[in-house]
């Protein structure tokens, strides 16, 4: 594949995300608390999560390791960060959630697999063939240092918020409870907020349009999700704090 074709595909991928965003704002994705059987065959929520997220480590490994560019410590580092996130999300996180008995439409899993295929191609091909030639001095650059601080901040917010949600119900309890404390004091979905911050920091570290397509698509997917969650909380829980925002403290 030529570099010209790669960038044509990159621009197309970014354009698709921008075009899809207003449509996703209007359509609630039918999984989790918004699950709908009208979307076709259903599978176990845990199995579906493993399938849709579990392909990402394999896809990016293929694009990265088959790349012709000489690997550097920095490109290994970026690859390792991505792998760590998705191995946790694919094979550890699903078994920590209290979703036994819940199901997810197979079509949602399929769309997530397609997203991960495209996203890993954009990022993995870039690191493996075009822009992975960072020197070791790059670790001391302002962009890398700021990026890793933002990335780790996002990871902390995401993981801490997820842990609070997971531990919200005691064993055997069902139904929804109102989370309190930490960033839940200000927003309904700090876990999603943290993931958006995480991938912005990741993109800043890499410093390419290819990497920035990832947080763009993260926002395209997660911002509508957060707004739907917030609306659901307000509708279903009468005592839900009205002063909370959905996903960005004091703003949205």
**Can you give the pLDDT of all 252 residues of the chain as single tens digits?**
889 999 999 999 999 999 999 999 887 766 666 666 666 788 888 888 888 899 999 999 999 999 999 999 999 999 999 999 999 988 888 888 776 667 888 888 888 999 999 999 999 999 999 987 888 999 999 999 999 999 999 999 999 999 998 888 776 666 678 888 999 999 999 999 999 999 999 999 999 999 999 999 999 999 999 999 999 989 888 889 999 999 999 998
- Residue 251 domain-assigned (yes or no): no
- 178, two tokens: 């109102």
The terminus-to-terminus CA distance of the chain in angstroms comes to 41
- Residue 161 domain-assigned (yes or no): yes
How crowded is residue 179: how many other Cβ atoms within 10 Å of its Cβ?
19
- Residue 63 domain-assigned (yes or no): yes
Residue 21 near residue 220, CB atoms below 8 Å: yes
How crowded is residue 100: how many other Cβ atoms within 10 Å of its Cβ?
8
- Residue 216 domain-assigned (yes or no): yes
pTM score:
0.90
- Residue 248 domain-assigned (yes or no): no
Show the DSSP H helices in the chain as ranges: 3-26, 45-65, 73-91, 106-125, 142-166, 190-206, 209-236
- 92, two tokens: 């550890």
In this structure, the dihedral spanned by the alpha carbons of residues 11, 17, 19 and 22, taken in order and rounded to 10 degrees, is -160
Distance, CA of 147 to CA of 33 (rounded, Å) = 33
Distance, CA of 83 to CA of 68 (rounded, Å) = 20
- Residue 36 domain-assigned (yes or no): yes
- Residue 150 domain-assigned (yes or no): yes
- Residue 7 domain-assigned (yes or no): yes
- 71, two tokens: 């690997």
Domain that holds residue 56: 3-236
> How many structural domains is the chain composed of?
1
């Amino acid at each position: 594949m030529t570099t010209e074709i790669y960038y044509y595909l990159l621009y197309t991928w970014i354009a698709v995300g921008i075009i899809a965003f207003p449509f996703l704002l209007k359509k609630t994705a039918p999984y989790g608390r918004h699950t709908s059987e009208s979307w076709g065959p259903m599978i176990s929520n845990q199995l579906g999560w493993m399938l849709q997220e579990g392909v990402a480590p394999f896809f990016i490994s293929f694009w990265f390791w088959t790349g012709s560019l000489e690997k550097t410590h920095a490109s290994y580092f970026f690859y390792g960060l991505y792998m760590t996130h998705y191995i946790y999300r694919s094979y550890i996180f699903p078994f920590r959630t209290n979703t036994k008995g819940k199901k997810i439409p197979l079509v949602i899993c399929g769309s997530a697999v397609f997203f991960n295929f495209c996203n890993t191609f954009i990022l993995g091909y870039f690191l493996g063939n075009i822009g992975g030639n960072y020197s070791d001095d790059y670790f001391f650059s302002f962009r890398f240092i700021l990026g890793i601080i933002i990335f780790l901040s996002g990871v902390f917010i995401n993981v801490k918020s997820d842990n609070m949600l997971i531990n919200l119900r005691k064993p055997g309890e069902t139904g929804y409870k109102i989370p309190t404390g930490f960033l839940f004091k200000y927003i309904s979905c700090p876990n999603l907020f943290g993931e958006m911050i995480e991938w912005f920091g990741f993109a800043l570290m890499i410093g390419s349009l290819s990497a920035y397509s990832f947080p763009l698509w993260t926002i395209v997917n997660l911002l509508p999700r957060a707004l739907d969650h917030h609306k659901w909380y307000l509708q279903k829980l009468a005592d839900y704090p009205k002063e909370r925002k959905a996903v960005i403290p004091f703003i949205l």
